[in-house]
Amino acid sequence: MKRAIYPGTFDPITFGHVDIIKRASLIFDKIIVAVVKNSFKDTLFSYEERVNLLKKATKGIKKIEVEGFEGLVVDFAVKKNINVIIRGLRMISDFEYEFQMALTNRKLSSRIETIFLMPHAGYSYLSSRLVKEIASLGGNLDDFLPRVCVSALNKKIGRR
Ligand code: ADP
């Protein structure tokens, strides 16, 4: 069975993440969407909230499991006996960081390969950071986020 890990902060999950998960599910038999528990980034949503939104937003997609992890992704991968990490590549601007990360992970564990998937062009500009900014400025989020995330984000930011 071909399995892969898709790690991220998912604060919150956007249509871009969903797109990558769907594409990965056409290639792999099982995808573990691995949610960073204690992120270096300050998250708007708690770990429990991020997992809950992710589960709801991906409800119809078979072949996925949502799990949390702490520490290095490679350690989590080894623990799970999985040697593929999936990452999304939006723009050239993602490339340098992702390239560094992929090679660092390979150095940490030579068995691990990182596979990059590109989202639909319509989502290539989308980021969780951007949607949080739009929400705080009162913009419409319907084109960017699953419905459950739109209401959760508006509620969090104090708009309904
Ligand atoms: P991280 O903190 O690990 O970067 P994110 O939740 O921001 O976590 O992103 C997880 C992965 O999803 C990363 O590989 C990121 O490049 C990718 N990603 C984020 N937004 C999009 C998008 N709109 N389209 C495709 N991939 C995306």
Q: What is the CATH number of the domain that holds 108?
A: 3.40.50.620
Residue 63: band (very low, low, confident or very high) from pLDDT cuts 50, 70, 90 = very high
Cα 82 to ligand 1 centroid, rounded to whole Å: 20
Cα 64 to ligand 1 centroid, rounded to whole Å: 17
In a domain, 157, yes or no: no
Query: What sign for the dihedral angle of Cα 111, 99, 69, 15?
Result: negative
In a domain, 136, yes or no: no
- Model pTM? 0.94
Residue 95: band (very low, low, confident or very high) from pLDDT cuts 50, 70, 90 = very high
Asked if 12 and 152 touch (Cβ cutoff 8 Å), the reply is yes
Check whether 24 has a pLDDT greater than 90.
Answer: yes
In a domain, 44, yes or no: yes
Check whether 21 has a pLDDT greater than 60.
Answer: yes
The protein residue whose alpha carbon is closest to atom 21 in ligand 1 is 16
The closest alpha carbon to 28, from 62, 61, 4, 59, belongs to 4
Cα 155 to ligand 1 centroid, rounded to whole Å: 23
Q: Which residues are catalytic?
A: 17, 41, 90, 128
Dist CA 131 CA 57 (whole Å)? 16
What length does the chain have? Answer: 160
Query: What sign for the dihedral angle of Cα 38, 8, 31, 112?
Result: negative
In a domain, 91, yes or no: yes
The closest alpha carbon to 143, from 30, 38, 14, belongs to 14
In a domain, 100, yes or no: yes
In a domain, 144, yes or no: no
Check whether 39 has a pLDDT greater than 90.
Answer: no
In a domain, 134, yes or no: no
Provide the number of structural domains found in the chain. 1
Cα 88 to ligand 1 centroid, rounded to whole Å: 6
Exposure of 73 by Cβ count < 10 A (0-12 exposed, 13-18 middle, 19+ buried)?
A: buried
Ligand 1 is surrounded, with C-beta below 6 A, by: 7-10, 14, 16-17, 20, 87-88, 90, 94, 119, 123, 126-128
Cβ neighbours of 61 (radius 10 Å): 14
Dist CA 52 CA 45 (whole Å)? 10
The residue whose CB lies within 8 Å of the most ligand 1 atoms, and thus the one to mutate among 73, 87, 104, is 87
In a domain, 20, yes or no: yes
**Residue 58 domain boundaries:** 3-125
